[in-house]
Amino acid sequence: MSPNPTTQKEHIWLRDEDRGTERRTALTPKNAKVLIDAGFSVTVEKSNKRVFEDSAYEAVGCALAESRSWVDAPEQTVILGLKELAETPTELRHRMIHFAHIYKDQTGWQKEMARFVNGGGMLYDIEFLTNEQGRRVAAFGYWAGWMGAALGAHRLLERRAGRDEITKGVSPFESQQVIIDKLKALAAEKEGALPTAIVIGAKGRSGTGATECLEAIGMQVTKWDIEETRLLDRQALLAHDLMVNCVLMFGPGLLLANKSHLAAQGSQMKVISDVSCDPFSDFNPLPIYSEPTSWTEPVIEVCQNGSGDAVEVTSIDNLPSLLPMQAAEEFSDQFIKPLLAFPNGVAWKNAEAKFTTIREKAGL
């Protein structure tokens, strides 16, 4: 199928990510070709970190541009990315598609909204692209949950084996199987029953990924969702060795644990993987750390449990980038259908409405 010049649509500009550890992309070369065949024009910024080579995009008909040249792109261009922007330019004049992390009262949300309003731009936050049923049209949730559980299990199992590897930093893995083999080997280093784990938000995308990861290495997993957290049995929660939190909070109402709870008699919790990773929000159900952990410092100690063992947290906010190829391919395959409907599809109208609501909330 070749492009039809009489049906030329929007110009999509895939930017190079500002974050140095972000190797994922919202648009794979395969799906860039789908856009081009449908009448879109696609420009891709060169990147030395994106998991797909620049040449792969060029081969399917994309124009290549220098990194961060989107700043000077024509005003009608649609700028597509994944993670939040650098602090410059201070005014944003384009329509932009990415995860901004500013709609839940996160630190600095008003300042970020002002960049769009003052520049005359528009934010289509991917987290709030929803269909007629209010469900997100594309998400990295499964891979975030899977990878978050893997890191939490890695830390717990290496502590059990008397090792200390993951605290020195993490980098992208070749495949799921490589990770599973590594975790199984760690588990086999010490005889006896494996530690216990609990997944909060087990019925969602992230929770499903987390559960499947832990069960793949033979861990016993307790699965909690809305029913179990409505009347929280915190003693039962903290009787586990590992907690993977996959609950995304949009308002107050859930406190899983604070430092006092973790330190109380009977608490056996040793490692918490906070996949939802929202420490800057007033609605954070785990107010035990102040900022996300990182690839260079993936684990931090926050307190000691009721038995005097360290309670550690891992809370990396771009977990799927540790499996960038698989995560990007699945996300892009979900995202291409709504992207083909830009800007008139239901998801885009819902995102516009959300932007307007937050702008009014900010008094802008």
Give the pLDDT confidence of 192-209 residue by residue, as tens digits: 999 999 999 999 999 999
User: Cβ distance 286 to 246 under 8 Å?
Assistant: no
User: Cβ distance 320 to 140 under 8 Å?
Assistant: yes
Give the pLDDT confidence of 28-84 residue by residue, as tens digits: 999 999 999 999 999 999 999 999 999 999 999 999 999 999 999 999 999 999 999
Instruction: Tell me how crowded residue 201 is: count the other CB atoms within 10 A of its CB.
Output: 26
Give the pLDDT confidence of 223-247 residue by residue, as tens digits: 999 999 999 999 999 999 999 999 9
Catalytic residue among 83, 203, 259, 337: 83
User: Cβ distance 273 to 245 under 8 Å?
Assistant: yes
- 16 or 101, which is more confident? 16
Cis peptide bond prior to 252, omega within 30° of 0? no
Q: Which of the four pLDDT bands, split at 50, 70 and 90, describes residue 107?
A: confident
Residue for token pair 């499964």: 142
Whether 94 sits among the annotated catalytic residues: the reply is no
SS3 for 361? helix
| Residue 158 confidence (pLDDT) | 97
Closest CA to 126 of 84, 68, 177: 84
> Beta 310-314 vs 300-304: how paired, if at all?
antiparallel
What is the separation, in whole angstroms, between the first and last Cα of the chain? 45
Catalytic residue among 98, 101, 240, 261: 101
Instruction: Tell me how crowded residue 36 is: count the other CB atoms within 10 A of its CB.
Output: 18
pTM of the model: 0.80
SS3 for 319? helix
Q: Does pLDDT of 248 surpass 80?
A: no
| Residue 5 confidence (pLDDT) | 44
Give the pLDDT confidence of 268-297 residue by residue, as tens digits: 999 999 999 989 888 899 999 999 999 999
Question: What is the dotted CATH code of the domain comprising 141-322?
Answer: 3.40.50.720
Query: At residue 120, what is the residue type?
Result: G
Q: Locate all alpha helices (DSSP H) within the chain, ordered by sequence.
A: 29-37, 54-59, 109-119, 141-160, 176-187, 205-216, 226-230, 234-237, 259-263, 324-340, 346-361
Domains 5-128+324-361 and 141-322 share a fold: yes
- Percent pLDDT > 90 in the chain is 90
Instruction: Tell me how crowded residue 188 is: count the other CB atoms within 10 A of its CB.
Output: 11
Closest CA to 359 of 131, 100, 138, 132: 100
Domain boundaries, the chain: 5-128+324-361, 141-322
Structure token pair of residue 97 = 């598609």
Q: Does pLDDT of 4 surpass 70?
A: no
Closest CA to 274 of 282, 259, 285: 285
Distance CA 112, CA 119 (A): 11
Whether 104 sits among the annotated catalytic residues: the reply is no
Top-tier CATH class for 5-128+324-361: alpha beta
Distance CA 186, CA 217 (A): 10
Q: Does pLDDT of 347 surpass 60?
A: yes
User: Cβ distance 15 to 42 under 8 Å?
Assistant: no
| Residue 267 confidence (pLDDT) | 97
Give the pLDDT confidence of 123-166 residue by residue, as tens digits: 999 999 999 999 999 999 999 999 999 999 999 999 999 999 99
Cα torsion through 84, 90, 95, 100, rounded to 10: 20
| Residue 25 confidence (pLDDT) | 97
| Residue 40 confidence (pLDDT) | 97
